[in-house]
Amino acid sequence: MSQLEGRVAIVTGGANGIGRSIAALAAGQGAAVAILDLDREAGMREQSVLVDAGFTALFRQTDVTDARCVQEAVALVTEELGPVDILVNNAGRNVYAEPVAMTEAEWDNVFDVDLKAAFLFAKYTLPSMIDLGRGAIVNIASLHARLTCAGMYPYAAAKSGLVGLTRSLALEVAPHGIRVNAVSPGYIRTALVDEYFAQNPDREAEQKALGVQPLERIGTPEEVAAVVCFLASDAASYVTGADWAVDGGLGARFA
Ligand SMILES: NC(=O)c1ccc[n+]([C@@H]2O[C@H](COP(=O)([O-])OP(=O)(O)OC[C@H]3O[C@@H](n4cnc5c(N)ncnc54)[C@H](O)[C@@H]3O)[C@@H](O)[C@H]2O)c1
């Protein structure tokens, strides 16, 4: 499959978990891929894996919350790989704050990673997409944008904001031939979900989570990557402003 042939894709948080699968699938579908992540060791490893497999890929250590760092990373990618026409805002963090004890600094960090970063990357990649007259942005939100659970305050607020940003940006850039969509995963087996189970005071949390899955299992990063790469491709040419659930049906469940 080469549905992303000739495209230049940025995947934030592409060194691990869902982002790593997105980067690998996009490269396999023909895109030149830039992995931008804080995790230098994992990022360098992923770059080697992709380059050794014959794909075009680079890693740049990047803090997605730092506007200057983002601007420099986008400039480097443009110089090395060409103008960016696919942006996947995937870097994210969980949060388990207590609403009274949470500090303003903690609040700001959550919103910087889970929401502001998507604005920063859009701000610095849109000029090249507008010049090209095409582009696709995919924001990795969460089922928490629509439904949530106690103990993850205020993750749902940041992810709901990201879905709102998706709609708003989609309308702003549609006249330039640029599409903007969100993907909202449910439970996906990564370090983030392992951390969620590990910090949960309920020792049965993992079993209970499994017990409510309509498909009777937790999803894989590859299953999210498949939807992201579809949305980034011309196969989704009439899809914009949408939020695609990849949650095994959990968001459809009432009882
Ligand atoms: N795993 C799930 O069940 C699940 C469910 C819903 C949504 N999500 C979302 O999917 C996305 C990916 O999650 P994951 O499960 O793969 O997590 P992960 O922890 O495995 O990977 C996240 C990556 O983001 C990077 N990152 C974090 N903060 C960063 C920063 N400031 N600058 C640059 N990179 C940074 C990390 O280094 C890591 O490589 C996140 O946005 C998350 O909220 C995950």
List Cβ neighbours of 104 (8 Å cut-off, separation of 6 or more): none
Q: Is the CB of 89 under 6 A from ligand 1?
A: no
Could you tell me the distance, in angstroms and rounded to a whole number, from the CA of residue 165 to the centre of ligand 1?
18
Whether 72 is in the pocket of ligand 1, judged by its Cβ within 6 Å, is no
Which residues are known to be catalytic? 155
Q: Domain coordinates of the chain in residue numbers?
A: 8-190+221-241
Cα 243 from Cα 230, distance rounded (Å): 13
**pLDDT for position 255:** 82
- pLDDT at residue number 130: 98
38 within ligand 1 shell (Cβ under 6 A): yes
For the chain, list residues with pLDDT below 70.
1
Phi-psi domain of 250 (left: phi exceeds 0; alpha: psi -120 through 50; beta: other): alpha
Smallest CA-to-CA distance from 51 within 86, 80, 13 is with: 80
What are the pLDDT digits (tens) for 115-169? Answer: 999 999 999 999 999 999 999 999 999 999 999 999 999 999 999 999 999 999 9
Residue nearest to atom 40 of ligand 1 (CA): 92
CA of 16 to the centre of ligand 1 (A): 8
Q: Which tokens belong to 132?
A: 């090209």
Q: Does domain 8-190+221-241 have CATH number 3.40.50.720?
A: yes
Per-residue model confidence (pLDDT) at position 222: 98
250 vs 166, 173, 214, CA distance in Å?
22, 32, 6
